């Protein structure tokens, strides 16, 4: 895949900024709390990437919180009750979320537009209620006291150090979340620019025409929804590990709505849109904190204005003149 | 001529309305067969059943002796029976070339995962699709608009794009629903020649629905005529032009006979 030198430069600057720049800045200013904020942004951006992918097949997904919650519980249960290494529970959480997505997706992915959106909107609540009801999830008490990720070594070669014996777990979690985010977006970029991505585009633009050229749209929808939910599960599992606890309310309907808004805000036409959207939305909300009870009002008004006047998202400002990536 | 497609006693009911009633006919290999009839006669419905876009109420359609009705459209397309649409149906935000490339996906040798990782086979596929797209667009005289966005094309080109997308799947049987609609005389004649060479040079069997009688008469080997969902005639263009039932169905009188 050919990258222009400009794109390579941009990528280099971005990687340098998150892996070197941010730690240096935080070290210099002593604002250690920013690690937690930026870690959250990175993890939310991973879940948002999944939502963006369902938009890519023309479906509005307001249910990613459900899959994040599933991922968080699966990882917590595997680590706490089955004694798994966190690093193994992480992909398992993603896969379990993907499996649930296949089962749920089979009946609901036929629905389009607002009907699909409405059904996904209740998913988060369904998972919350399930977590409250099941014995294995510990009901309302949730699962607390999740140990920090242990070290990981392969054939005696240490790959990841033990988080428990670290002085600065904040930095370690931050770096882990960033690596995960970079891998997620690299995979997303690759997917969108490969044959699967092209088939998704064909479906998004015209499902009838796509099936007339032999695209198995039902199958592709399921595959995409599963990948989307895999990202949700991954993000959720990481969150649980950082918070060292999971509760039925760890992810709520509002989170699911935010995942979707992140995508709208960043731009549905750009792979990196949800990443930018998550960053802006997260900090935007915090910055409005001083407006007290008007926070929500100002926040919503701004969102409506942005979506009204920038229907293609924030990234469209930069790309509107010519080079669409 | 052996028959490639067999339409056998096909009936389609929409509630109380019978869109197709007990239709039967065969299509031979390498034939160009037109289905004509007044508006609402059931022509598009018949094509939708042949391509499994809608199920039959009763009866079946066979392709090389194998049932292709009441399946899924993508399965029928994979067998090589591909339709185009009466209404403008395109991939709006793809260029002409991108549309023609994506339509070739059935011929991919690499798996979806292979494409993700950029395997050797996938790279070969991509190169082959690009090459074939250029060749096909050249053949269709569309090279100049290859990089135009589909949504920016004028009406005449949209029809051609729909046909190009269908052809890119390398079909054995191509069903064209009103391929000449909205074209002027020259464009139509051009397209008639193209459709003929699709059959002659690529060996594609063609079924088409058309209202443009001069074009139908010049292009068809045989014609099937529908009226109010019934098949009222079948034969060569000259047989159809002189068929009493057909003349009556079209005009209610023998004065304005159809034809050139
Ligand atoms: N999905 C549907 N539901 C109900 N009735 C339908 C449906 N599709 C078609 N019909 C009816 O079936 C009849 C045949 O329609 P069809 O589209 O096959 O006609 P046609 O011969 O293609 O006409 P035209 O030349 O105008 O395209 C019409 O009366 C139409 O109203
Ligand atoms: Mg029609």
For A89-120, b/e burial (b = at least 16 CB within 10 A) is: bbebbbbbbbebbeebbeebbeeeeeebbebb
Q: What is the pLDDT of residues B176-216, one digit of tens each?
A: 999 998 888 998 999 999 999 999 999 999 999 999 999 99
B156 pLDDT band (50/70/90 cuts)?
Answer: confident
What integer pLDDT is reported at residue A265 of this predicted model? Answer: 86
Please list all protein residues whose beta carbon sits less than 5 angstroms from ligand 2, which is an ion: B 44, 86
Q: What is the mean pLDDT of each run of 10 residues along chain A (325 residues)?
A: 78 92 90 90 96 92 96 96 94 98 95 89 95 92 90 77 83 94 95 93 94 95 97 97 94 93 87 90 83 82 80 67 43
Task: Name the pTM for this structure.
Answer: 0.89
Q: Which ligand is nearest to the CA of B211?
A: 1
CA A53 to chain centre: 10
Nearest to B77 by CA among B53, B101, B44: B53
Interface of A to B at Cβ within 8 Å reads 1, 190-191, 194-196, 198-199, 201-202, 205-206, 208-209, 211-218, 223
Whole-angstrom Cα distance, residue B166 to residue B84? 6
What's the Rg (C-alpha) of chain B? 19
**Beta strand pairing call for B17-28 and B205-209:** unpaired
Q: Look up residue A49 and give its two tokens.
A: 């990437």
Residues of B in contact with A213 (CB under 8 A): 77, 82, 102-103, 105-106, 165-166, 168-169
What integer pLDDT is reported at residue A322 of this predicted model? Answer: 44
B253 pLDDT band (50/70/90 cuts)?
Answer: very low
Long-range (24+ apart) CB contacts under 8 A made by B66-74 are: B69/B10, B72/A211, B72/A216, B72/A218, B73/A208, B73/A211, B73/A212, B74/A211, B74/A214, B74/A215, B74/A216, B74/A217
Taking residues B99-106, report their average pLDDT. Answer: 94
Break chain A into its structural domains and give their ranges: 1-30, 32-252
Cβ neighbors of B195 (< 8 A, separation 6 or more) are B32, B163, B176, B179, B206, B208, B219
What integer pLDDT is reported at residue A246 of this predicted model? Answer: 96
Which CA distances in Å does B179 have to A261, B191, B206?
Answer: 42, 8, 11
What integer pLDDT is reported at residue A234 of this predicted model? Answer: 97
Locate the DSSP E strands across chain A.
Answer: 152-154, 157-160
The residue assigned the tokens 């990613």 is A64
Half-sphere exposure of A158 (CA within 13 A, CB side): 6
| Contact at CB, B73 and A190, closer than 8 angstroms | no
Q: What is the pLDDT of residues B40-81, one digit of tens each?
A: 999 999 999 999 999 999 999 999 999 999 999 999 999 999
Q: What is the pLDDT of residues A244-273, one digit of tens each?
A: 999 999 999 999 999 999 998 888 888 898
Q: Has residue B8 got a pLDDT over 90? A: yes
What integer pLDDT is reported at residue B171 of this predicted model? Answer: 96
A219 min Cα distance to partner chain B (Å): 11
Q: What is the pLDDT of residues A38-96, one digit of tens each?
A: 999 999 999 999 999 999 998 999 999 999 999 999 999 999 999 999 999 999 999 99
Q: Decide which of B254 and A131 is more confident.
A: A131
Q: Has residue B255 got a pLDDT over 70? A: no
What 8-state DSSP symbol labels residue A139?
Answer: G
| B195 exposure class (CB count in 10 Å sphere: 0-12, 13-18, 19+) | buried
What integer pLDDT is reported at residue A321 of this predicted model? Answer: 45
What integer pLDDT is reported at residue B254 of this predicted model? Answer: 44
Residues of B in contact with A188 (CB under 8 A): none
What integer pLDDT is reported at residue A305 of this predicted model? Answer: 82
The binding-site residues of ligand 1, defined as CB within 6 angstroms of any ligand atom, are: B 14, 17, 19, 37, 39-45, 86
Q: Look up residue A290 and give its two tokens.
A: 């001083």
What 8-state DSSP symbol labels residue A104?
Answer: H
Q: In chain B, what is the straight-line distance between the N-terminal and C-terminal CA atoms, in Å?
A: 27
Distance of CA A158 from the midpoint of ligand 1 (Å)? 69
Whole-angstrom Cα distance, residue B224 to residue B24? 10
Which structural domains are found in chain B, ordered by start? 1-80+172-197+205-260 (3.40.50.300), 88-170 (no CATH)
User: What percentage of chain B exceeds 70 in pLDDT?
Assistant: 96
For B55-68, b/e burial (b = at least 16 CB within 10 A) is: ebeebebbbbeeeb
């Amino acid at each position: 895949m050919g990258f222009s030198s400009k794109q390579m430069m941009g990528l280099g600057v971005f990687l340098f900024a998150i892996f070197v720049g941010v730690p240096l800045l935080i070290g210099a200013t002593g604002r250690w709390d920013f690690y937690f904020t930026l870690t959250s942004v990175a993890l939310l951006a991973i879940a948002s990437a999944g939502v963006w992918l369902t938009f890519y097949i023309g479906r509005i997904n307001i249910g990613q919180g459900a899959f994040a919650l599933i991922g968080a519980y699966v990882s917590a249960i595997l680590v706490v009750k089955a004694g798994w290494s966190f690093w193994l529970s992480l992909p398992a959480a993603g896969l379990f979320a993907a499996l649930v997505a296949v089962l749920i997706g089979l009946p609901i992915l036929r629905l389009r537009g607002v009907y699909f959106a409405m059904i996904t909107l209740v998913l988060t609540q369904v998972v919350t209620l399930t977590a409250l009801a099941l014995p294995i999830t510990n009901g309302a008490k949730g699962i607390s006291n999740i140990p920090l990720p242990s070290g990981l070594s392969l054939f005696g070669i240490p790959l990841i150090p033990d988080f428990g014996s670290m002085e600065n777990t904040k930095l370690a979690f931050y770096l882990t979340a960033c690596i995960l985010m970079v891998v997620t977006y690299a995979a997303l970029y690759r997917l969108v620019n490969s044959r699967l991505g092209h088939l998704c585009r064909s479906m998004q633009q015209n499902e009838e025409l796509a099936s007339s050229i032999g695209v198995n749209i039902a199958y592709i929808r399921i595959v995409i929804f599963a990948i989307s939910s895999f990202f949700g599960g991954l993000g959720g599992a990481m969150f649980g590990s950082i918070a060292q606890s999971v509760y039925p309310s760890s992810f709520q309907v509002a989170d699911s709505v935010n995942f979707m808004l992140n995508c709208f805000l960043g731009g549905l036409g750009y792979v990196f849109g949800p990443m930018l959207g998550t960053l802006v939305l997260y900090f935007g909300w915090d910055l409005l904190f001083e407006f007290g009870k008007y926070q929500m009002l100002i926040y919503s008004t701004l969102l409506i204005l942005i979506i009204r006047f920038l229907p293609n998202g924030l990234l469209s400002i930069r790309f509107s003149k010519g080079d669409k990536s | 001529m052996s028959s490639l497609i067999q339409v056998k006693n096909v009936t389609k009911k929409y509630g109380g309305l019978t869109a197709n009633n007990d239709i039967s006919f065969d299509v031979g290999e390498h034939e160009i067969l037109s289905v004509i009839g007044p508006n609402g006669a059931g022509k598009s419905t018949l094509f939708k059943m042949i391509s499994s876009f809608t199920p039959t109420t009763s009866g079946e359609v066979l392709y090389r002796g194998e049932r292709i009705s009441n399946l899924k459209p993508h399965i029928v397309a994979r067998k090589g029976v591909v339709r185009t649409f009466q209404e403008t149906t395109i991939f709006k935000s793809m260029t002409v070339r991108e549309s023609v490339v994506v339509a070739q996906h059935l011929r991919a040798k690499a798996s979806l995962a292979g494409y993700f990782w950029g395997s050797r086979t996938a790279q070969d596929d991509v190169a082959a699709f690009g090459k074939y797209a250029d060749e096909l667009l050249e053949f269709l005289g569309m090279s100049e608009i290859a990089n135009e966005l589909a949504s920016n094309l004028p009406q005449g080109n949209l029809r051609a794009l729909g046909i190009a997308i269908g052809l890119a799947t390398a079909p054995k049987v191509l069903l064209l629903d009103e391929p000449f609609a909205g074209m002027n005389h020259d464009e139509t004649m051009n397209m008639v020649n193209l459709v003929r060479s699709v059959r002659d040079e690529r060996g594609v069997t063609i079924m088409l629905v058309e209202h443009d009688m001069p074009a139908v008469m010049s292009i068809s080997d045989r014609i099937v005529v529908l009226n109010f969902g019934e098949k009222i005639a079948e034969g060569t263009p000259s047989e159809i032009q002189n068929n009493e039932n057909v003349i009556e169905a079209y005009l209610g009188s023998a004065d304005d006979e159809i034809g050139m």
